[in-house]
Amino acid sequence: MTKTVFFAILLSGIATWLIRVLPFILVKRFTLPAWLIDFLSYVPVAILTAIYVESLLTYHAGRWPSVNLPNLLASGPTFLAAIVSKNLLVIVIVGIASMAVLRALGWG
Amino acid sequence: MDDELTWRSGFKDVLPTIFGYIGIGLAFGIIAKAGHFSVLAAVLMSLIVYAGSAQFVMVSMLAAGSPIGAIVLSTALINARMALMSMTVAPLLQEESMLQNITAGTLLTDETFALTMNKLNHTGHTLHSRWLHAANIAAYLVWAGATLAGAMLGQLIPNPADLGLDFAVVAMFIGLLYLQIITDRTHPRRRQVGLAVFVAALMVVLMRFMPGNLAILAATVIGCLGGMAVKHRD
């Protein structure tokens, strides 16, 4: 491992750690104002939607994003599994199997 | 998922997310090795940086000879959304010691955050650090182990993508998003669904102008502000 790789890992690790931990330290020290608590109450659904939709799109600099078709197609059975089972393990297994089938068919 | 907040319950609840960590961890190990990184470098990256998409970006930037400052800045931008997740979890552990808070924050990921949000719907919106530690530590060890396996055995094991394992993480987010919308009573269901549709549309528009990781952060912030505005109007 070169010195550059090591320091890139170490400094990126420290930066990521601070991003993760500072909010915990600040919230422990200070009480959050009501508007911020209201704001944060929307974070779960908003961020989960954003992370999911990001996986359906492919970024191209300066153009509109294109659709990631395999991920979109595998989402169908996965959503169905979510509605029917309401069980995370079942949902994940159906998702993996759907994508495996798509790839075996050469559509993935 | 039930209302238990024990260590055992934490290990049990995190189980469905393990496939995602294995799929992406293996893929990361294989790609890092293919990019001429040592096994040690790949595992250290997973142990010290511990952030899926940022690690893939780091590997490609290091391979391209990018300066360290640019690499650290990119990593920080990709992971900036973690601050929103930490800030959402932190008030739930406010009564616990600073050490417990720092430990919980150190190992929080997209996955264990989402799992925690689902868990709250079963516990009357209370949390205990030991449940989160159990989920976090299991996720961390599986991630490091999968990276090690991918980097060491990359050529021997079948491509995780052929087995559909790369989709495990997406499937998990579909599940957690759906379960969050049907069980979260913080806001009326109509508003939660409206928020999801609004954020999805924002993502398409924002990704015209910025990469996905930044779009996630921007869409979340705008989406939450939108939620606040709608609530005031209702």
Q: Are A108 and B163 in contact (CB under 8 A)?
A: no
Residue A84 lies inside a defined structural domain of this protein: no
Query: Is position A7 within any domain?
Result: yes
Asked if residue A21 belongs to a domain, the reply is yes
Residue of chain B nearest A77, judged by CA positions: B171
State the residue range of the domain holding A10: 1-30
Q: Would an 8 Å CB–CB cutoff place B77 in contact with chain A? A: no
Specify if A63 maps to a domain: no
φ and ψ at residue A50, rounded to 5 degrees: -60, -45
Quote the CA–CA distance of B228 and A99 in Å, as a whole number. 37
To which residue do tokens 């502000």 refer?
A: B225
Q: What 3-state DSSP class applies to A58?
A: strand
**What is the complex's ipTM, to 2 decimals?**
0.92
Roughly how many angstroms between the first and final C-alpha of chain B, as a whole number? 32
On the question of pLDDT at B177 being above 80, the answer is yes
Question: How many CB contacts within 8 angstroms connect chain A with chain B?
Answer: 299
What sign for the dihedral angle of Cα B213, B175, A20, A25?
positive
Å between B139 CA and nearest CA of chain A: 15
Share of chain A above pLDDT 90, in %: 92
Burial of B133 (0-12, 13-18, 19+ CB in 10 A): middle
Interface check B213 vs A, CB under 8 A: yes
Of A5, A57, A91, the CB nearest to B174: A91
Q: Is the pLDDT of residue A76 over 90?
A: yes
Instruction: Report the pLDDT value the prediction gives residue B36, as an integer from 0 to 100.
Output: 85
Q: Establish if B216 touches chain A: CB-CB under 8 angstroms.
A: yes
Confidence of residue B156 (pLDDT cuts 50, 70, 90): confident
Whether A13 is covered by a domain: the verdict is yes
Chain A nearest-CA residue for B19: A92
Partners of B5 in beta bridges? none
> pLDDT at residue B234 above 80?
no
User: Please, are residues A95 and B170 in contact by the beta-carbon 8 Å criterion?
Assistant: yes
In a domain, A26, yes or no: yes
Measured between beta carbons, the chain B residues lying within 8 angstroms of A21 are 86, 102, 105-106
Q: B212 with A51: CB under 8 angstroms?
A: no
CB contact under 8 A, B101 and A28: yes
Rounded to the nearest 10°, the torsion over CA B125, B126, B129, B135 is -40
Tens of pLDDT, residue by residue over B109-129, are: 999 999 999 999 999 999 999
Looking at the structure of chain A, the number of domains it has is 1
Q: How far is CA B153 from CA B26, B30, B39, B159, in A?
A: 9, 8, 10, 11
Query: Among all residues of chain B, which has the CA nearest to that of A73?
Result: B167
